Structure formats: C-alpha cells, structure tokens
Amino acid sequence: MNKIVKIGVAGLAIAILFWGIGQLPINEWISAFEGVLKGLGVMAPILYFCVYIISCIALLPGSALTLLAGAIWGVVKGTILVSVSSVAGATVACLIGRYFAREKVEKQMEKFPKFKAVADSLGEGGLKLVTLVRLSPAFPFNLLNYMMGVTRVKLKDYVLGSWIGMFPGTVMYVYLGAASKEVLAAQGSGGKTPQEWALLVVGLAATIAVTVVITRKAKATLKTLENNENSD
C-alpha cells in the first residue's frame, strides 16, 4: 500500500511540476537563450563548459545549468555535455582543495562526520567509495569536490568514480529539462496526443525511479561502511 501511495505522490508531483512550468514564461527565456547560443555556433558548448566549471569552483548549484542543457540540446547531447562539464568542474575544484585550499577545506570537513568516517578509506577503495559517495544525497555536490581533494584518493579514481556516481542524476535532470521543453512546445502547438504524453511521463517517471533506487542502495552501502569504520 505504501508503494502505491508513493507512486501516486510522485505522479502528482510530476503533474504539479509540469503545471508550474506552464505558468512561467520559461519558453520565452529558453528561446531567448537558445537564440544567443545559436549565434555563437560551435562556441556555445564551450561557453557552457566554462560556465559550468566556474559554477563548481564558486560552489553554485549546477541543477539549473543541467536542466538548461536538456532543454536546449536534448537528452543525448545534453547528457554528454553536462557529464563532461560537471566532471571537469569537479576535478578542478578537487585540485584546488588539494593544493591551494587544504586548511580551509579540512575545517569544513568537521561539519560532515559521515564523510570523515569513510574519508580515510578513499585511498584504498577509491573508485568504489567515490562512486558511492557521489550517489549519496547526504553530501553536497560542490563542497564534496573540495573535500575529496584533501583525502588520499587517486585522481584517476576520483574522476572515474565522479563520472559514474553523477551520471544517474545527470540523466534525470537533463531528461527533466528536455521534458519541460516538450511540455512548453506542446502548449504552443496545440498539444500532444495522449500516447505522446504517456511516453513522456512514463519516461520521466522511470528515469526518476531508477535514480532513486540507485541512490538508496548507495546510501545503504555507505551506512554499512560507516558503521564498520566506527566499530573498528
């Protein structure tokens, strides 16, 4: 029964989200930004890449940029662009934390005892742990970039683990951005058929569901590791 309620709540949340999107002049905003990007040609993805890296360094949330990529470039191209940009930004922030801001970052780490519990293990089980930590919603993405820098994790494990761990969330947000644009386009063109709406909603719901399941499993695994560390 609980599962049915949760599915119903999730469906209602998606419907409210799409309704809210329709109440804002987002279509005009996206169209205006898209026009600017088209004028830049091949420089547009490069500009996006640079802006994403700056947002990671400045501890700004990247969700809006990820949604925008889905709305402008679609699911496939948007996912590729966001993956490359977010991993690059996360890597730059990690290197800054490791070589230029270690003291400050170590002070910030005091506020996250859960991260400290697994931080010492990152040198050995680096790839697996980085992936799990990235999948867990318990750690803030941008601050985590810097905190990883002061651990013993190898850079190659950090980069690959970050890419794997961030990928489900990237796909979810990009899909949501692309779906939002589809909703807005449908409003302006007279609407979609029921079958098209069904595919759109089912696709989005499936993407969110997969992301939630993966995230929960990662959180449970991290909890086990944390308990093991505390018991040693």
- Residue 100 is given by DSSP the state T
**What does the block give as tokens for 41?**
């040609």
Instruction: Using the predicted structure, report yes or no on whether residue 94 has a pLDDT greater than 60.
Output: yes
- Structural domain containing residue 58: 2-231
Tell me, what amino acid is at 79? T
| pLDDT value of residue 222 | 67
Q: The pTM is what?
A: 0.76
Number of domains, the chain: 1
| Distance of alpha carbon 41 from the chain centroid | 26
Q: Is 156:174 a contact under the CB 8 Å cutoff?
A: no
Return all residues near 179 (Cβ < 8 A) that are at least 6 apart: 18, 70, 200, 203, 204
Residues in the chain: 232
According to DSSP, residue 151 is labeled S
Tracing tokens 């088209």 back to the chain, one arrives at 38
Q: What is the pLDDT of residue 1?
A: 46
pLDDT of 202 strictly over 70: no
Q: Count Cβ atoms below 10 Å from residue 2 Cβ, excluding itself.
A: 6
Average pLDDT, the chain: 77
Q: What is the pLDDT of residue 204?
A: 64
* pLDDT at position 3: 55
